[in-house]
Structure 1
Amino acid sequence: MTKAIGLRVGVVGCGYWGSKHIRVLHALESVDSIAAIDPNPDRAIQLARHYPGIESYQDLDAALPYLDAVIIATPPSTHKPLALKAIAAGVHVMVEKPLATSAADARVMIAAAEAKNVVLMVGHTFEFHSAVWQLRQMVQNKELGDLYYLDTARLNLGLYQNDCNVLFDLAPHDVSILNFVLGAKPVSVECWSSRHANSRLEDVGYLRLHYQDPDVTANVHVSWLDPCKVRRVTMVGSQKMVIFNDLATEERIKVHDKGVSEAPTFGQDLTQPPMSYRYGDVVAPYLEMNEPLMVEDQHFTDCVISGMKPLTGGENGLGVVEVLECAQRAATEGRRVSLSELQPIGELL
């Protein structure tokens, strides 16, 4: 039986994330050949030792004639020019987070992909995580009751980036999780950030995202300068509370049947506590474990082959970039910034 000809996929930038994509692509039946594209020839040599037959190029221009699709895993400032170059050649593109460094650049990328009728997808890996799917289902099914607030923390000692601050490096993960779980984008953003060990780039940030539907506030804490590695999402509702700890080897999600309510005698008998507390079971729901990156890359190749719209397409990436840009502006100007401030003038009329 003759094997169907698969996709020719290039990976631009073969560092930490790029090498992971190459490993995953090597296992996909839909991929026939892989090109490692990196100006550092040593990286291609190292990858070839693990994945025989891999092709190598030092720049995207040389590789484009031989590619059907490309994954861009380079610093954020290079995402727009590299993506536009591939799109102009009719090559399908997936860009690692964030899609771009500004909403205006993201819109240019989306328009270019639509004009050339090619797939544009962003690497919001957590939207392909089974635990995050579970969180979204809980919200949709109202299992937590009325949502009071959400809180996320993504902390570690490092890794400092060269061309973006901690907001653009770490916060895209949590913003994409929140938007996906809530099924909405925030309407406004507040942000406080500071520089400590690095004189040029913010290494600690606190974001507050205000959503309108559902009417809830989410807090995001990101840091390159913390003694503990933390990857946590907390959702608090009127009926239950849930914690997603991505570093847990087992029981990544724990649902706490806990809650508080105003005591019936509050305001009448000041000797009694103002709130009544309810304590119940802690349940760890079963999760079908997957490798999110594998699911993501498989979805990308499926979209390229079938022409279907990606779950994390350009508009999805734009939604996250809008939040990041508003957060940066909010931190700089010391005020709450509405996402509507980033809309092109024509869309506001």
Structure 2
Amino acid sequence: MSCSEEDNNANLPAAIDGDKTMTNSKDKVRIGIIRCDTHAFWYAHLFERPDPELMRLNHRGCHYYFHEPDNPCQERFAPPAAMAITRVFDPVDPAAAKTLSETFGGRPRVCDSVDEASDDVDLVYVADCDYGGEDHLELARPGLTKGVPHFIDKPFAHTLADARAMIALAQAHDTVLMCASLMSYSPHLERFRGRFADIAPVRSVVVYGGWRLAILYHVISLIQNVMGPGCEWVECMGPDDLNVIRLHYPNGDGGTDAIILNSIDKWPGRHDHESAANVQHCRMDASAYGDGGAIHSPRVGDYLVPYAGLRIVQMADRMARSGVAPIPYAEMLEPMAIIEAARLGRRAGRRVALEEVQ
């Protein structure tokens, strides 16, 4: 199938709820991508427009999410900023880096080292679809030392100490970084939060997640989106690490508890992903319970999360151009502090205040 230019540009929306496609007459922000996994291909659609046929050939899943189901040549979203992928590197699978480069006509340079990936770029994106952030500090270190702004994928790191070390490294070299989950900036979850007044006071928010840190970080970010920052204490229980987590948010009426149920496959009918036509679909949702009743969010899955991705890419673009971090570092560190408190709480068998680990 051949994709015409008319197909490729037809009916491309920007974001929703007043978000506008960013226009800027400056040169394009040059991006170096480190780790060419699914998230690298996913965000690549929003960094710059790929060849639809090559994307369909090289990553069918990401093509499926970003193109119309009845027209594989028509994109659902236009890139929201002026950016260009110029370097790609994968620390484990060089073939993946080559494939990502080929998806953009072979123009992005396939690098031989992580250090090379941050040369002559304006922004480094450290991608992470399914891992736990163990290598984020080492992958970001060369570029941060050069003073290059970084967009770190979720989870920010595997430990709070590593997350803090990345921030300190950026500050020491007069640069900035950001970490953002797609759940943090979903307009659909923001509208869900806007309905809390209908059932106020809200006593609990319940979210089903996944035991992998990559998924758990999304879940905590979802809660941060609807509750805001300011978690007071954490409890963690269950037979597995990070199995069931209770987050407490204080207010004047007894507070609100956010309950994270992480053993997805042990809860009947609950799965964080499902497969159809050889394409994996992920989704998350939340329920809120208050004195006035209950409300439920939509299932924010693969066809809705790109709206959050548009916002995040705009933030990364502005960060690269301005040298200003778009998210307060304390806000970025809170999910890591919650994870650290949950680990400590399960080991010690007690409630842990966030101030103990921050």
The TM-score by the shorter chain falls in which range?
0.7 to 0.9
Corresponding position of 1:34: 86
- The match for 2:329 among 314, 319, 335 is 314
Runs of 4+ in 1 over 4 A off after TM superposition: 247-250
Corresponding position of 1:293: 309
Aligned residues of 1:11 and 1:22 also touching (Cα < 8 A): no
Map 1:96-107 to 2 at 5 A: 96-107=153-164
Structure with the bigger percentage of strand = 1
Unaligned runs of at least 5 residues, structure 2: 1-24, 50-78, 273-283
Corresponding position of 2:204: 149
Corresponding position of 2:256: 216
CA distance in 2, matches of 1:322, 1:4: 38
CA distance in 1, matches of 2:298, 2:100: 32
Bigger radius of gyration among the two: 1
TM-score by length of 1: 0.74
CA distance in 2, matches of 1:324, 1:223: 16
Paired amino acid for 1:236: Y
TM-score by length of 2: 0.72
Aligned residues of 1:25 and 1:34 also touching (Cα < 8 A): no
CA deviation after TM superposition for structure 1 residue 131, in Å: 1.0
Secondary structure at the counterpart of residue 229 of structure 1: coil
CA deviation after TM superposition for structure 1 residue 23, in Å: 2.5
Q: Deviations over 1:129-153 (max 9, x none)?
A: 11122133334xx333211111001
Aligned residues of 1:122 and 1:317 also touching (Cα < 8 A): yes
Secondary structure at the counterpart of residue 190 of structure 1: strand
Q: Indicate yes or no: 2:283 matched with 1:241.
A: no
CA separation of 1:41/1:242 partners in 2, compared to 1, >3 Å: closer, same or farther?
A: same
Secondary structure at the counterpart of residue 66 of structure 1: coil
- The match for 2:224 among 175, 179, 196 is 179
Map 1:153-164 to 2 at 5 A: 153-155=208-210
CA separation of 1:247/1:102 partners in 2, compared to 1, >3 Å: closer, same or farther?
A: closer
Identity %: 22
Corresponding position of 2:351: 336
CA deviation after TM superposition for structure 1 residue 173, in Å: 1.2
Map 1:1-349 to 2 at 5 A: 4-27=26-49, 28=79, 29-39=81-91, 40-52=93-105, 53-74=107-128, 75=131, 76-139=133-196, 142-155=197-210, 166=211, 168-195=213-240, 202=241, 205-213=243-251, 215-223=255-263, 225-226=265-266, 228-230=270-272, 231-246=284-299, 291-311=307-327, 313-343=328-358
CA deviation after TM superposition for structure 1 residue 77, in Å: 0.6
CA deviation after TM superposition for structure 1 residue 95, in Å: 0.9
Secondary structure at the counterpart of residue 150 of structure 2: strand
Q: Deviations over 1:312-349 (max 9, x none)?
A: x4322210000001111112222111111113xxxxxx
CA deviation after TM superposition for structure 1 residue 170, in Å: 1.7
CA distance in 1, matches of 2:330, 2:138: 18
CA distance in 1, matches of 2:322, 2:343: 38
CA distance in 1, matches of 2:249, 2:231: 4
Paired amino acid for 2:122: D
RMSD over aligned CA atoms reads 2.5
Secondary structure at the counterpart of residue 194 of structure 1: coil
CA distance in 2, matches of 1:193, 1:36: 41
